[in-house]
Amino acid sequence: MRSRYALPALSLRFVAVWQRHFLVWRKLAIPSILGNLADPLIVLFGLGYGLGAALGQVGGSSYFGFLAGGFLASTTMYAATFESLFSAYSRMHVQKTWEAIVNAPMTLEDVLAGEWVWAASKAFAAGVCLLAIVAAAGQASFPLALATVPVAVLIGLTFAALGLSINALASGYDFFSYYMTLLLTPMMMLSGVFFPVERLPEAVQAVAWALPLYHGVELARPLLAGSLPAQPLLNLAVLAGYALAGFYLATVLTRRRLLT
């Protein structure tokens, strides 16, 4: 008897699930990228240049440069989150795509791993686009800025895993607005996307250190500006820990939802 709490048994079969999602995305790639990027870009340029003119230097650079690093982390977070919430829920619950897949010699773990890596791929695409735009605005310092791309993938894996856990608990699309409004939006405020975390009271800073997005920002911002992060191993370890624990949680919760 397979236990609900067993570690996910991963196989390379998940690639077929990833390919399915890629094929669908390819049909709508341009509108999808524009849709995902329009909102963050408007805010980045609006705040970066508008508010930046009033603020002057923040954290030793222009406000636009400061904000770009934070936005790279939060945009990839949202890209992976949308995919693992709304899109995954459509495939799981509305279109019954998952059900069709597990009737073939595929397991629920294959489906979840496919969703996980796919959502991280969307984060990768969003990260690359944002990097290109920031570079075009002359605010990225190469070659180190290129290291933000694997960081975007790791942020994607982290928030895709958390999103899939939420997906397994969802009773409808409305359920996701609680997660986005009550967890992700405050996290964005606390993680140093818009302003340095050092400006916050110490107790609040301690909360920020426990949040995955904070560690994503701590990596992305210096790399984009061409310097090394202060504690890269710690940041990577926290993100990887959230990603792996989140995927395990998603596996257990999805088994509970679909296999009983």
Partner 1 sequence: MKSLEVRGLRKSYAGAEVVCGVDLEVAPGECFGLLGPNGAGKTTTLRLCLGLSDPDAGEIQLLGHAVPERAREARAQVGVVPQFDNLDPDFSVAENLTVYGRYFGLGRAQIAPRIPQLLEFAGLAGRSEAKIQTLSGGMKRRLTLARALVNDPRMLFMDEPTTGLDPQARHLIWERLRRLTQEGRTLLLTTHFMEEAQRLCSRVAIMDHGRIIAQGTPRELIARHLESQVVEVHGPGVEAWMAEAKTRASRTELAGETAFCYADEVEPLIASLHARPELVYLHRPANLEDLFLKLTGRDLRD
31 binds partner 1 (CB under 8 A): no
Residue 66 or 89: the one with the smaller Cβ distance to partner 1 is 89
257 binds partner 1 (CB under 8 A): no
State the minimum distance, in angstroms, from the CB of residue 102 to partner 1: 6
Interacting positions 59-78 with partner 1 (CB under 8 A): none
30 binds partner 1 (CB under 8 A): no
233 binds partner 1 (CB under 8 A): no
The DSSP result for 42-110, as a single string, is HHHHIIIIIIHHHH-EETTEEHHHHHHHHHHHHHHHHHHHHIIIIIHHIIIIIS-HHHHHHHSS--HHH
State the minimum distance, in angstroms, from the CB of residue 19 to partner 1: 6
Residue 71 or 118: the one with the smaller Cβ distance to partner 1 is 118
206 binds partner 1 (CB under 8 A): no
**Exactly one of 24, 135, 137, 146 binds partner 1 (CB under 8 A); which one?**
24
State the minimum distance, in angstroms, from the CB of residue 80 to partner 1: 20
135 binds partner 1 (CB under 8 A): no
Helix, strand, or coil (residue 5): coil
CB-based contacts of 216: which residues, under 8 Å, 6+ apart?
Answer: 73, 76, 77, 151, 154, 155, 158, 191, 235, 239
Token digits of residue 204: 């609040």
Helix-helix angle 63-82:29-45, to 10 degrees: 140
Residue 51 or 258: the one with the smaller Cβ distance to partner 1 is 258
27 binds partner 1 (CB under 8 A): yes
The residue among 248, 254, 257, 253 whose CA lies nearest residue 10 is: 248
**SS3 annotation, 192-216:** CCCCCHHHCCHHHHHHHHCCHHHHH
Residue 113 or 193: the one with the smaller Cβ distance to partner 1 is 113
Helix-helix angle 108-136:29-45, to 10 degrees: 50
State the minimum distance, in angstroms, from the CB of residue 125 to partner 1: 18
The number of helix segments (H) and strand segments (E) in the chain equals 13, 2
1 binds partner 1 (CB under 8 A): yes
6 binds partner 1 (CB under 8 A): no
Stretch that binds partner 1, among 18-26, 55-63, 121-129, 148-156 (CB under 8 A): 18-26
Interacting positions 81-100 with partner 1 (CB under 8 A): 95-97, 99-100
> Exposed, middle or buried by CB within 10 Å (0-12, 13-18, 19+), for 142?
exposed
Q: In the block, which residue shows the tokens 């606390």? A: 190
128 binds partner 1 (CB under 8 A): no
Binding site for partner 1 (CB under 8 A): 1-2, 13, 16-17, 19-20, 23-24, 27, 95-97, 99-107, 259-260
